[in-house]
Structure 1
Amino acid sequence: MAFRALNRLHLNKLALNPTTIVSQPPEDNRHPLKRLFSYAKGQRRRVWMAVGASILNKIFDLAPPALIGAAVDVVVEREDSLIASLGVVDVFDQLIVLAAATVVVWGLESAFQYAHSWLWRNLAQSIQHELRLEAYGHIQELELAYFHEQSSGGLMSILNDDINQLERFLDTGANDLIKVMTTAVVVSIAFFALAPGVAWMAMLPIPFILWGSFKFQKLLAPRYAEVRERVGLLNGQLANNLSGIATIKSFTTEDYEKERIAAESDAYRQANQKAIKLSSAFSPLIRMVIVVGFVATLVYGGHLVLEDALAVGTYSVLVFLTQRLLWPLTRLGQTFDQYQRAMASTNRVMNLLETPIHIDDGDRALAPADVDGALVLDDVTFAYPEREPILEGFDLDIPAGATVGIVGATGSGKTTLINLLLRFYEPQAGRITIDGADISQLQMSDLRGAIGLVSQSVFLFHGTVRENIAYGTFDATDAQVEEAARAAEADEFIRQLPDGYDTVVGERGETLSGGQRQRLSIARALLKDPPILIFDEATSAVDNETEAAIQRSLNKVTEDRTTLIIAHRLSTVRNADFIVVLDDGHIVEQGRHEALVADDGLYARLWRVQTGELEGVGETVLV
């Protein structure tokens, strides 16, 4: 079963530190279409082919009125008709020529209709596909701080609904606009060539139509921008509620949440109603303007025919062309409605794509097999936005292959160290090195590929147990997966599942217990076989028996690799090579378990709390 790629947006415990930094795109005043096509350079040839097919289709679609006029001219003028002047004198032969021309015109019109339909639809699908992948790829490159002010539902709305809205416009709306413009140009040329005296009357409504169209665009744009924002908020609330359905049920807040969804949905409906109220008025108003031009051509052109100032055939062409010119303009309201929806969506997608990335990837390669795992934090200072530094002048030297326990009270900086080592955040001062190489200069994929993380907040994808263990090590064999599971003390419970390793776990692994999810997460990290392992409260969700089993496996898997163990239970780090005790972002104690207990400092006090030797103090001292 394929993993759901968008689940990669999940934020684990490492991403839950509050921050107010939000990466905002630079203000871009370019038209949405210009912004779009700057991202669709590879499709420009297909765009021009589609535009060309639309124009040619409309040109041949406008030819029948001319053929009808020619037929009227043949019937009325006979040997003095326009076709007769080309050398075909016999009236029946003239009709045969017209019939042949009609077949050719209709054939070409049909061929180009197929061409523009095929080109636009496939172009819409291609741009939709490429834009979605580019937007999703860009999201993955953004720093975690960006996600703190963004809901996953809102991002899903952009990646899915907004891009689909753009696809719908490219599928039909773009072709309609091009055909209207082509009609206006071709018919205008024909009018002024055939009957300049009548042309101005037919053209009279066009300036008013164009003015009204641009006016409606300006009025509609902010309304549809609000529509897109409202649907994003609605999707965000829906995604949030679905993720927290267990909490909703446990607090019996179903009615409250239904009201909240109703409020968001109603706001979305009202935003749409405001836009619909305006866009629906466009076509009726345009129709009243159009009828003026049509009636003027009909009456004044007929008067010229009666005065023998205009040929009957030409008059027929003018009447038909007037209808062909003006009547499609009544559909502009619907087209502009679709256009404004698409442009509002385009701006949202482009704003996402242009959101700056503040953590730059390095250019130095790092092969995990060549990493010894010596870690050094040299005079590191880091503060979350608008907060006091959590680390200031921090120094820590971890030899290659050492197993280090990191303990301390809430807010002492334990999880921040992991954030910095994985470059989820950048320090404001100082440097962090692996084997002497500054991690800011390393390629991000190589850096993170050299580090295996087992987090307290485990995320499992909707898929089989085997797929979840092999996630990130997709070329692993079944035997390797099972070996990693055994090392994590997970093999026994896995084989007791209905389908063993092929058992499908629910989204986020909700069908498994916390301890089972934790052991799968450990197996996943062990299968990766990185030179550096980080366990962030990896045994916090397991019972004592399971902890003892995991501890036995840790004693094996930590050999010949650097291991950092952030622990709530001090028994987990008891056998570490040395233990670092943090307090308020500083190292206050450092050494082996026995020595720290003997020193009777902070670590000794925490130890006594957990072993029950210090009464009246709960275990909430640690996190």
Structure 2
Amino acid sequence: MDRIPDGRRDGRTVSPAEKAQARDVSLRRIGGLFTAHRGPLATVVAIIVASSIIAMATPFLLRAVIDRALPERDLTLLAWLVAGMVAVAAVTSVLGVAQTWISTRVGQQVMHRLRADVFAHLQRQSIGFFVRTRTGEVQSRITNDIGGMQAVVTSTATSIAANLTTVVATTIAMLALSWRLTLVSAVVLPPALWLTRRVARLRREITAQRQRELADLTVTIEEGLSVSGVRLAKTLGTGPALVDRFTASSARLVDLELRSELAGRWRMAAMSIVFAAIPAVIYLGAGLPGTAGTLTIGTLVAFTALQGNLFRPLMGLLNVGVTLTASLALFARIFEYLDLPVEVAEPARPVPLDPATARGHLRVEDVTFSYPGSDTAALAGVSLDVPAGTSLALVGETGSGKSTLAALISRLHDPDAGRITIDGIDLRDLRPADLAAVVGVVSQETYLLHGTVRDNLRYARPDATDADIEAATRAARIHDLIAALPDGYDTMVGSRGHRFSGGEQQRLAIARTLLRDPRILVLDEATSALDTETERAVQRALDELARGRTVVTIAHRLSTVRDADRIAVLDHGRIVESGTHDALLDRRGRYAALVG
């Protein structure tokens, strides 16, 4: 497989999307998408073959009408022949309906499986992948790219079978009528194949450009029409610039669509002219000395009808080649996501850990970690022991590694060296669901879904009863506020929770974590963005949440961590001091400087 290295091409940066288009996509792999549907596809092929064979009876019935029934005035024979034509049309129509139903069902099932596989695989990606990927790019791959495949996935296999069978059957019928005229008709193939090859290459290039442009358009919509994006645009006055960006991207899409359509139309126009000229050549050939008198009128009419009918399946077969070649750009983008390595993989042989009986003893053993592309370690040789039921506070300047360590404890990343254990079990040996049940996280960036308050709380525990939900919100000091709303727990929180203030969102997040009842709690600067009064309310909720649990707290405001059982001071990814609040103040070291 050819690879494009990171860097520049023709003086410009090569994007990941463009590198995806350079990947060779195996037709065998595309065909593998249909492996599970061999039975229905075999039925479709059988229907197509039967339909094509039955349809070939029509020109022979027509020849008999012209050469025998009409000249001989045989009404009985004429009635039977006409009835046969109607029966052929009826049978092929019924078979066509059955073929369409089966093939469309198979295609939609393949599309469903592809969408589900991509979504599931992306769910397994580490947080680093989503940090590196543009907002809207993922949505564009799943919606625009897979949506663009629909015509190929749902109809390509049946179209190939139907058109190929029809072409073969028609050619056999033409040879049976006149092999000489068949050779005359064959002159259309070379120009058809040449034009098709040119259009296929052009369509693939245009398709790749169009999908990149669609991704850019989706990114603009995601960034410009979200609540945060609209607020930013209005406060900075960048609305007109966003409109210009969207309009320019949309205009480029119009140009690409026009180029894609015209690339096919001029080929179709050229082929129509060629096919229109073939009957004239046939009539001329029928009058040449070598063939004159050897063909009946019925044979000539039937042959001309067959030759005319050959145009549609032959062009359909060539169009499939164009469409499939163009769609390789789409398959390349989707397979690129399916082939992404899982940086934080599920264990092949997970070690069981019952969240109900877990003690919550947390150990960090000589952990080192660097972010991809960074030459500096975010953490280097960090070791900590947090016994079950105790609290640890991590303090330090911005960039010292506090949030990185919190992310490792919840396994958003895996350490490059060393290990982190819960009750002696390496996090990498735990099922993600077990780890999520044992480790709860409340961060500064609270994310609420666009749904009701009840829906947001049940997102953490779908089987929670209304009584469980109320108990959690009371503990989080948010029940009274929710109950006072006109719709109570059925109040819509709005996009990203903008219906509530920052402190209220934090308390809803705390209630959501309480529903999970984790043994280990990670508080990542959960109150740093709040005013003093709101912070007090949230802190009381956090104190309730932390009761009886192992707690790791990260805070800039050192007043919130002074009561921790142990405080660790981080500096450039290393622990430089640790101890209680009073002991660290007595040392007059880094912690004392931070407090002072």
Alignment of 1:65 onto 2:59: yes
Letter in 2 for 1:236: V
Alignment of 1:380 onto 2:367: yes
| Contact persistence 1:406–1:567 (CA under 8 A) | yes
Q: Deviations over 1:519-546 (max 9, x none)?
A: 1111111111011111111122333333
| Contact persistence 2:410–2:441 (CA under 8 A) | no
Alignment of 1:551 onto 2:539: yes
* Residue 371 (structure 1) aligned to one of 358, 362, 367: 358
Distance in 2 (alpha carbons) for counterparts of 1:304 and 1:189: 25
Alignment of 1:217 onto 2:200: yes
Q: 1:290 to 1:172 in 2, by over 3 A?
A: same
The aligned counterpart of 1:607 is 595
- Which moves more between the two structures, 309-318 or 330-339? 330-339
Distance in 1 (alpha carbons) for counterparts of 2:22 and 2:129: 17
The aligned counterpart of 1:479 is 467
Letter in 2 for 1:603: Y
Distance in 2 (alpha carbons) for counterparts of 1:273 and 1:535: 54
Q: 1:173 deviation in Å? A: 5.8
The aligned counterpart of 1:29 is 24
The aligned counterpart of 1:323 is 308
Listed as ranges, the matches of 1:318-467 within 5 Å are 318-327=303-312, 329=314, 338-362=323-347, 363-364=349-350, 365-385=352-372, 386-467=374-455
The aligned counterpart of 2:123 is 140
Listed as ranges, the matches of 1:501-520 within 5 Å are 501-520=489-508
Letter in 1 for 2:248: A
Q: 1:147 to 1:215 in 2, by over 3 A?
A: same
The aligned counterpart of 1:572 is 560
Distance in 2 (alpha carbons) for counterparts of 1:297 and 1:343: 39
Letter in 2 for 1:71: V
| Unmatched tracts of structure 1, length 5 or more | 1-19, 79-89, 609-623
Q: 1:184 deviation in Å? A: 1.8
SS of equivalent to 2:356? helix
Q: 1:437 deviation in Å? A: 1.1
Distance in 2 (alpha carbons) for counterparts of 1:21 and 1:582: 36
Q: 1:25 to 1:321 in 2, by over 3 A?
A: closer
Distance in 1 (alpha carbons) for counterparts of 2:277 and 2:312: 12
Distance in 1 (alpha carbons) for counterparts of 2:544 and 2:231: 38
Letter in 1 for 2:293: D
Q: 1:306 to 1:398 in 2, by over 3 A?
A: closer
Q: Deviations over 1:72-130 (max 9, x none)?
A: 1223664xxxxxxxxxxx93332243234224312210111111221222223222222
| Contact persistence 2:378–2:572 (CA under 8 A) | yes
Q: Deviations over 1:368-423 (max 9, x none)?
A: 12321111111111111223112111111111111111111101100111221222
| Contact persistence 2:21–2:329 (CA under 8 A) | no
SS of equivalent to 1:208? helix
Q: Deviations over 1:7-43 (max 9, x none)?
A: xxxxxxxxxxxxx999x98985244x43333234222
| Unmatched tracts of structure 2, length 5 or more | 1-14
Distance in 1 (alpha carbons) for counterparts of 2:129 and 2:112: 24
Q: TM-score, normalised by structure 1?
A: 0.86
The aligned counterpart of 2:581 is 593
Distance in 1 (alpha carbons) for counterparts of 2:344 and 2:21: 17
Q: 1:548 deviation in Å? A: 2.6
Distance in 2 (alpha carbons) for counterparts of 1:458 and 1:512: 11
> How large is the RMSD of aligned CA atoms in angstroms?
2.6
The aligned counterpart of 1:523 is 511
SS of equivalent to 1:367? coil
| Contact persistence 1:464–1:502 (CA under 8 A) | yes
| Contact persistence 2:286–2:292 (CA under 8 A) | no
- Which moves more between the two structures, 302-311 or 463-472? 302-311
SS of equivalent to 2:346? coil
* Residue 308 (structure 1) aligned to one of 261, 283, 293: 293
- Which moves more between the two structures, 560-569 or 292-301? 292-301
Alignment of 1:121 onto 2:104: yes
Letter in 2 for 1:44: R
Distance in 2 (alpha carbons) for counterparts of 1:327 and 1:264: 36
Letter in 2 for 1:564: V
Distance in 2 (alpha carbons) for counterparts of 1:196 and 1:158: 51
Q: 1:293 to 1:186 in 2, by over 3 A?
A: same
Q: 1:344 to 1:47 in 2, by over 3 A?
A: farther
Distance in 2 (alpha carbons) for counterparts of 1:300 and 1:526: 88
Distance in 1 (alpha carbons) for counterparts of 2:54 and 2:139: 43
Q: 1:446 to 1:39 in 2, by over 3 A?
A: farther
SS of equivalent to 2:149? helix
Letter in 1 for 2:340: T
Letter in 1 for 2:58: P
SS of equivalent to 1:281? helix
Q: Deviations over 1:418-453 (max 9, x none)?
A: 221222222111111111111112222222221111
| Contact persistence 2:506–2:526 (CA under 8 A) | yes
Distance in 1 (alpha carbons) for counterparts of 2:514 and 2:285: 88
| Contact persistence 1:25–1:351 (CA under 8 A) | yes
The aligned counterpart of 2:284 is 299
Letter in 1 for 2:167: A
Listed as ranges, the matches of 1:193-232 within 5 Å are 193-232=176-215
Listed as ranges, the matches of 1:164-179 within 5 Å are 164-171=147-154, 175-179=158-162
Q: TM-score, normalised by structure 2?
A: 0.90
Q: 1:170 to 1:295 in 2, by over 3 A?
A: farther
Alignment of 1:97 onto 2:84: no
- Which moves more between the two structures, 415-424 or 132-141? 415-424
The aligned counterpart of 2:8 is none
Distance in 1 (alpha carbons) for counterparts of 2:21 and 2:315: 38
Q: 1:521 to 1:304 in 2, by over 3 A?
A: farther
- Which moves more between the two structures, 198-207 or 528-537? 198-207
Q: 1:309 to 1:25 in 2, by over 3 A?
A: closer
Q: Deviations over 1:220-279 (max 9, x none)?
A: 212211111211122122212223111011101111111222232233333333333322
Q: 1:393 to 1:373 in 2, by over 3 A?
A: same
Distance in 1 (alpha carbons) for counterparts of 2:297 and 2:249: 62
| Contact persistence 1:381–1:430 (CA under 8 A) | yes
The aligned counterpart of 2:9 is none
| Contact persistence 2:358–2:438 (CA under 8 A) | yes
Q: 1:591 deviation in Å? A: 1.9
The aligned counterpart of 1:537 is 525
Q: How many residues align?
A: 576
SS of equivalent to 2:345? coil
SS of equivalent to 1:574? coil
Letter in 2 for 1:287: S
Distance in 1 (alpha carbons) for counterparts of 2:377 and 2:500: 39
